[in-house]
Amino acid sequence: MITLEKKYELVTEGLFAIPRNSFQNIFNYVAEIYKYVNSGQRISPHRLKPKILPISLAGTNFEFLEKFHPQVKVFFYRSANTEGAKFWTYDKEIGEVSDKWGNIYINLNGDLQDILTTVLEHEILHYIQHLIRSHRDQSDDYIGGLPSKKVIPNNLTTHGYVKGKEKKRVKHSRRPIEYYTNLNSAVREVQKFYNTSKSVHRFEDSPKERKRFFVGLLEKLKNGKLSGRFADTFADVKKENPELYKAYLRLTYNAFVNGKNDINHEEIDNAVESSDKSR
């Protein structure tokens, strides 16, 4: 029987090692397009054409993927749903699956703050998972950036379909392919909550303050007074896999309290404000 400690060790093989500055050019481009679209100018179809942008993994734990010349093609679309962005191997421009880049589709009706804080990074990490699969020359159901198979329900495929009932798919947070990307989004959301609280209550950042804040968040989570990705992810995991939930708590605590917060909230706030002023 695999112990909780061993599960924790397996889960820590995740995707936290990729710094956000590896994708900064993509964040900047999306913010620029949002500002342009909201400016009231006549929108040029040429300006919104899909654009290929490079990703630099040099100096990261995933530098071995540089041999693929990682890059994503960014598409923009409008949809009434709340989805901010999605990763898809299918390239709508060429009408087929692309093996030269990842395709990120950005919903111009999505919330820019949310997209720049969690959603865009989440989708880029899905692309990194596919690059790892290519590196290992594995089948389609194999995706990199997953915990050991020992912590994944054996009745589910990587993408969350129930084996033997291929048309039945479990909810987003229960899909193995989402384990690490959801965890990364949860950490980013906690960092955003903390930054907002720090700005309002004007306290100095320190590990002690982060610990106090995190304990407070858990209390709100316990009492059902918290909403968002952090709350949804942790509530679902706790219900379906209590041991993995404990591991998630330890990972998030360590990433938030002791890890490096490399997300520039002021820069995101400025981008959102600049886009809003263009309306």
Residue 136, pLDDT above cutoff 70: yes
Q: What are phi and psi of 22, to 5 degrees?
A: -65, -25
Q: pLDDT above 70 covers what percent of the chain?
A: 89
Q: Residue 95: its pLDDT value, please? A: 92
Across 26-30, 37-41, 143-147, 235-239, the highest mean pLDDT is recorded for: 26-30
Pairing of strands 51-54, 71-77: antiparallel
| pLDDT given for residue 142 in this prediction | 62
The pLDDT of residue 33 is 93
Tokens of 178: 């989402």
Show the domain range for 100. 4-277
- Name the least confident of 36-50, 109-123, 205-219: 36-50
**pLDDT value at 15 more than 60:** no
Q: How confident is the model at residue 215 (pLDDT cuts 50, 70, 90)?
A: very high
For residue 209, name the pLDDT band (cuts at 50, 70, 90). very high
Q: Which residues contact 105 (CB under 8 A, 6 or more apart)?
A: 75, 76, 77, 85, 86, 87, 88
Query: If pLDDT is split at 50, 70 and 90, which confidence band does 1 have?
Result: very low
Contact criterion met (CB below 8 Å) for 262 and 255? no
- CA geometry: angle 39, 37, 26, nearest 5 deg: 120
Give how many domains the chain has, as a whole number: 1
User: Which residue type does 44 have?
Assistant: S
Average pLDDT over residues 254-267: 83
Label residue 17 by pLDDT band (50, 70, 90).
Answer: low
Residue 85 three-state SS: strand
> Token pair for residue 149?
């198979």
